[in-house]
Amino acid sequence: MNTPSSENRPPFLPFALPEIGEEEIAEVVDALRSGWVTTGPKTRRFEQDFSAFLGDPGLHAIAVNSATAGLHLALEAVGVGPGDEVITTTHTFTASAEVARYLGADVKLVDIDPATLCIDPAAIEAAITPRTKCIVPVHFGGLAADMTAILAIAQKHGLKVVEDAAHALPSTHAGRLIGTLDSDATVFSFYANKTITTGEGGMLVTRDAALAQRAKVMRLHGINRDAFDRFTAKVPSWYYEIVAPGFKYNLTDIASALGIHQLQRAHAFQRQRAALAAHYNELLADLPLILPPQPAPGELHSWHLYVVRLADGACLHRDAFIEALFEAGIGCSVHYIPLHQQPYWRERYQLQAEDFPHSQRAFERTATLPLYTRMTLEDVERVALAVRRALCVG
């Protein structure tokens, strides 16, 4: 039984929601009826469409069942192993770092640039040792990290670069889409709350043919299908060779069916997200908040996340701010509880908050407001009003 007050209350506005259309649904049904439910023609098409989307015919796109899987494959393929060190940001999801541990390598977490919330290139350079093998930058919230500086550092020290682009479809750096820069590999995520989704899924892209070949073999149990195709076309189709102890990271055609149509909408989704973010920017401009870092003129920001930080003059703390928004029927999140605060990483590497002052300060003041394509401008206004009230303004 609804009480009158709960009847009048607007419905809960969640922090994130996917947008799945009739075309996605029809393509999934087509996959189900076709008899091909695992990796097959729709996955092949999704990979081809993905390279075409990035606009670079030299790119190999390899569909995987998560970005975590793609990051693992990329680090394995660039040769990360026991005794190596991988540098990444503390201000990220654990997947950016855990994949190095899968391979027996050590992780060097470094601080962010508070102006961008992305990994600080100077902190990368300071963390390099003779054991450093690879840098894993994260394009936080969809704003590209300073890839010009990061690629220059990598070149100077002979390091590999694998971009964690889970937030960055589509985003640009120096006018080039993330995925087409000069790093060794770039990995996108199609998790449920990302800018496009396949439920679970990811894409590894690289220009390096040998890296692509290794990732393809390791994606499916270490089965060397290409050698099979090239050299043994005359042997029966049941014959295959295992050339490495690979993983089970292939993407199903059911998931790729979603991805094909989500990808076609990626630029439209980005424009909608940018318009919603611009509306937030206007409505929140006079409040004691640090608004999200903005892209340089002409650059594309995917606007995966709309992250605010409470300024010094705010009348309450972050936890109470999120609680107040929840009371107003609005879901928020925190990106991120930094890895140096997580028990595993803190204890494994004896980490202290003082070593990551910018990430720590951002974490203590940060909240992520709802931002997704199914929101309307009115939803943004509703959130902005609740934010004003929570901050004791108006």
- Smallest gap, in angstroms, from Cβ of residue 68 to ligand PLP? 3
Stretch that binds ligand PLP, among 34-42, 48-56, 65-73, 268-276 (CB under 6 A): 65-73
Select from 63, 117, 135, 138 the one that contacts ligand PLP (CB under 6 A): 138
Cβ neighbours for 191, distance < 8 A, ≥ 6 positions apart? 66, 67, 166, 197, 200, 201
Cβ-based nearer residue to ligand PLP, 46 or 93: 93
Using the rule CB under 6 A, is 166 a contact of ligand PLP?
A: yes
Q: Which of 47, 163, 164, 379 binds ligand PLP (CB under 6 A)?
A: 164
Beta strand segments in 208-357, E = 289-290, 306-310
The terminus-to-terminus CA distance of the chain in angstroms comes to: 33
Residue 338 amino acid letter: P
> Among 364, 236, 371, which Cα is nearest to 304's?
371
Determine, following the binding rule CB under 6 A, whether residue 262 of this chain makes contact with ligand PLP: no
136 binds ligand PLP (CB under 6 A): no
**Residues of this chain, 10-39, that bind ligand PLP according to CB under 6 A:** none
Task: Please give the DSSP secondary-structure letter assigned to residue 177.
Answer: E
Residue numbers annotated as active site: 194
Nearer to ligand PLP (CB atom), residue 108 or residue 279:
108
Q: Does residue number 53 form part of the binding site for ligand PLP (CB under 6 A)?
A: no
CA distance 369 to 117: 16
Q: Count residues contacting ligand PLP (CB under 6 A)? A: 14
Mapped onto helix, strand or coil, the DSSP state of residue 172 is: strand
Nearer to ligand PLP, 97 or 287 (CB): 97
Q: Minimum CB separation from ligand PLP for residue 393, in Å?
A: 31
Query: Which tokens go with 327?
Result: 């009371």
Tokens of 68: 């975590």
CB nearer ligand PLP, residue 159 or residue 168: 168
Q: Residue 191 interacts with ligand PLP (CB under 6 A)?
A: yes
Side-chain half-sphere of 174: how many Cα atoms within 13 Å? 11
d(CA 244, CA 231): 18
d(CA 157, CA 302): 30
> Does 67 participate in binding ligand PLP (rule CB under 6 A)?
yes
d(CA 121, CA 9): 47
Return the number of the residue (92 or 360) whose C-beta is nearest ligand PLP: 92
Residues 306-345, interacting with ligand PLP (CB under 6 A): none
Candidates 87-95, 106-114, 357-365, 377-385; binding stretch for ligand PLP (CB under 6 A) = 87-95
Nearest approach, Cβ of residue 136 and ligand PLP (Å): 9
For residue 362, state whether it binds ligand PLP (rule: CB under 6 A): no
Rounded-to-integer distance, Cα 246 and Cα 213, Å: 13
Which residue among 39, 90, 96, 172 contacts ligand PLP (CB under 6 A)?
A: 96
Q: Is the Cβ of residue 197 or residue 224 nearer to ligand PLP in the bound state?
A: 197
- Take residue 306 and report the two structure tokens written for it: 């709309």
Give the one residue of 39, 51, 66, 366 binding ligand PLP; rule: CB under 6 A: 66
Give least dist CB 248 to ligand PLP, A: 14
Reference 303, options 277, 281, 265; nearest CA is 277
Give yes or no for residue 93 binding ligand PLP (CB under 6 A).
yes
Cβ atoms < 10 Å from Cβ of 4: 7
Question: Rounded to the nearest whole angstrom, what is the least distance from the CB of residue 341 to ligand PLP in the complex?
Answer: 16
Q: Does 202 bind ligand PLP (CB under 6 A)?
A: yes
Minimum CB distance to ligand PLP, residue 189 (Å):
4
CB 254 within 8 A of CB 228: no
Sign of the torsion formed by the C-alpha atoms of 174, 179, 185 and 189: positive
| Nearer of residues 96 and 250 to ligand PLP, judged by Cβ | 96
Interaction between residue 68 and ligand PLP (CB under 6 A): yes
Which helix (H) or strand (E) is 213 found in, with range? helix 209-219
The amino acid that residue 145 corresponds to is A
Nearer to ligand PLP, 53 or 190 (CB): 190
Residue 66 near residue 200 (C-beta atoms within 8 A): yes
If you count them, how many residues does the chain have?
394
Q: Which residues in this chain contact ligand PLP in the complex, by CB under 6 A?
A: 66-68, 92-93, 95-96, 138, 164, 166-167, 189, 191, 202
